[in-house]
Amino acid sequence: MARLFSKDLWSGLMFAGFGVLALIMGSNLAIGTAVRMGPGYVPRMLSYILIALGAVIVARGIIAPGDAIERLRWKPTTMITIGVVVFALLFESAGLAPALIALIFLAALGGEEFKLVETALACVVLIILCIVIFKLGLGMNINIIHGVW
C-alpha cells in the first residue's frame, strides 16, 4: 500500500501521461523520415522519450519504495497562483516592472519566512535581467513601466 503513494510512481505516471497526451495531440501531423522530417517527427520522438522515461520512473517506484507523497501545502500554492494571475493582469496595464514586483512579493509571502531585503533584491535583479534579455537582447516591444519606458 505504501508503494501506491510513492512520489516516483505518480511522477512516472505523470510523465507517461503527458507523453501519451502529446502523441494524441500530434497524431494528425505528418511524421516523414529521419532524413526528411515532417512537422510531427520531433514531437512524436519526444513523446516516446517521455513515455519511456515515465515507464522507468514508474518501475523504480514499484520496485524500490521511495518517499511518500507529501500533503499539499495550500499557502504557497495559493500565493504563487495569485501572483501569476496578478502578473498577467498587471503586465499590459502597468508594465513589466510593477507586474514582476507584485509576482515576486506575492510568491515570497507564500513562503515559511518572509524576508523583505531578499525579496526586494530579487525584484531588482529579476527586473534588470528581464530588461537585458527581453528588451535589449531580443528587442521585444514591452513596457517596463507603462507610460514611462
Asked which of 34-43, 73-82, 89-98, 119-128 is least confident by mean pLDDT, the reply is 34-43
Which DSSP string corresponds to 112-136? SS--HHHHHHHHHHHHHHHIIIIII
Confidence of residue 3 (pLDDT cuts 50, 70, 90): low
Q: Mean pLDDT throughout 36-63?
A: 92
Residue 129 pLDDT: 97
pLDDT tens-digit profile of 90-128?
Answer: 999 999 999 999 999 999 999 989 999 999 999 999 999
The cell for 122 is 530579487
The answer to whether residue 1 scores a pLDDT higher than 90 is: no
Is the pTM higher than 0.95? Answer: no
